[in-house]
Structure 1
Amino acid sequence: MKWSLNLGRVAGIKILVHWTFVLLLGWVAITEAQRGSDIPTIFLAIGFILSVFLCVVLHELGHALTAKRYGINTKMITLLPIGGVASLERMPEDPKQELLIAVAGPAVNVVIAAILWLVLPPLQEVPADEFFMRITPANFLYLLLFVNVVLVLFNAIPAFPMDGGRVLRALLSFKLGRVRATQIAANLGQMLAIFFVFVGFFYNPFLILIGIFVFFGAFSENMIVKHLEFLRGHSVREGMMTNYVTLNPADTVRDALDKLLTGSEHEFIIEEEGQVLGTLTRSQLIQAVKQEQMSTPVSKIMSGEVKTFNVQDKLSEAYSELQKSKAPLYPVLENGQLAGVINSDNINEFILIQSALQH
């Protein structure tokens, strides 16, 4: 994710913190200062926020490490002011596996809360409201226990993209199948999101942000699963383009610009005798023009590291890869030779056609 600071790796998973997280820490510091808090109290409040987000990282690692057991890798965990996001390569279609992955995150918070419950002395009386209003050395760990309980309850909400939505989808999938289960879970999630937004207007504006996040998360999940269902059983050969423009490695930037202006292509495959050598995007061409490299061979400015698909690969896998990488296009090979290209637009058109055929 852009504008994120890399904090290192845990079990091979990058831990990133988005720059907006600094705004949260700044807001906490300013709020405490306006209350008249001294420097140690301000740092204690910031330390509490960092402790909460450590629990969030552990929560996301619970998802990631459980997914790893089923051969699903996680590229990164990103910390945002509203929580953490684990970027799993995919979610398993096996309901049992999805159920265990979804439950693993909140289970970590349950363990943290249980440990704190066991080690902390019992409170003698029900805390007053003031107990929750300001962080002190006396209530620091009690509030951390409380936050972990809230994280469990919040993630139990049966709405995408919360864990509860995935748990609900997994349970429904055992009887209804993944597509129908996703539709039900997504519809419920969107209804809850509308409720959050409505309540947020009267009580807490933060609920409006959560509602918007949940609404579009549920919508996106439902659409992706529908699309994958339309692609099921189809190969890359069926969704690739066979009419496309290629460049020879000896062609110049000027030659590429001519093809860019006279055709509809924005990206090109660089190939020689059917062997893919690289790709060239419009932005790379424009950059070469700015640097007055009109006579430079495209082989000098192309991207040489190219992921390819085979004509027999699953079209659903190509779709998932394009969604994940945001790459403009991929070459498609047959017996090691260039046979076509595939991009998101063409797959979306294939989905549109399949949708029309099934109605």
Structure 2
Amino acid sequence: MIKSNYKILGIMSGTSLDGIDIINVNFSFNKGWSFEILNAETIEYSKPWKSTLSQLVTLPMDQLEILDIKYTEYLASVILDFINNNSIKSIDFIASHGHTALHQPKNGLTYQIGNQQILAKKLHQKVICDFRVQDVLLGGQGAPLVPIGDRLLFNNYEYCLNLGGFANVSYELNNERIAFDICPVNIVLNHYVSTLGLDYDDKGQLASTGSLNKNLLIQLNEISFYNEQPPKSLGLEWVELNIFPLIDSYKLKIEDILRTYLEHIAIQISKILIKNKSQALVTGGGVYNDFLMKRIDGFSTSEIVIPENEIVEFKEALIFGLLGVLKERNEVNCLKSVTGAKRDHSSGVIYTI
């Protein structure tokens, strides 16, 4: 008999390198899914780990595989500390996304480190992980995977927008869930702020003091990706090829780069949030960039809704927990309408102790 209640940990590490998000949550099913968040925490990366993870796309595969083992061991230690610090006694399983090292779906490749069998062995817990690989093998983008959770947990909003390393959105269109990456966000903003010795632009204050460079803005908005039809997704490799060289060619002050790129983000997002009298649930670290939120709100016709902090910060970890639950139940957790795969499927690898 399939259970209707699950006590799980959801683990997520995003491209913006904010840290490892861990959430302890109870999921319940009664005609629909509901959840209760018990504990949640972001464990920041040390400077060495942040530096290492930011350079993953440059590593040859043999070095990446060695690092994969080290990162999985590190991830296990972080999760174990979370379990002990919160005195968690009962877990059905751990659902972990890992950290994306390579994402080249057009080449049939996506690789998330931290998804090794040793995670289950070191934690003495069942682990469900590696959710993207199967989708790519089925011809899909392997991303985004969060929209199934948007449909099942947050379906009272017309749009679900996440502002992390990248902006991604999901919504219903003709009775299908549509979702895609819109544009890079924090992965670009944080890159340039880091040259000033900062981790991020607090509330967008630096960007707000910069000047808009109209020529750069025009070129950014003309990038061909924005005219492609979904399914489509982005990765660090794409940013390094298409965004950084273009911005750097202008040799602008950091404040002007931030101001111009932030305007670009707001414009691209506003092209999506176009339903009148609609609500857009907005989550992710970008929510705390007040200037960015002001610009998005100014351009968009949808009402921008920012939920409580736990949802803002841990929605992706929460939904990867749900992906694990759906995999455990052998139910669909990847939608072909979102990723472009050959079929809907139940993705992920299950490791037992």
User: TM-score interval w.r.t. the shorter chain?
Assistant: under 0.3
Greater C-alpha radius of gyration: 1
Q: Per residue, is there more helix in 1 or in 2?
A: 1
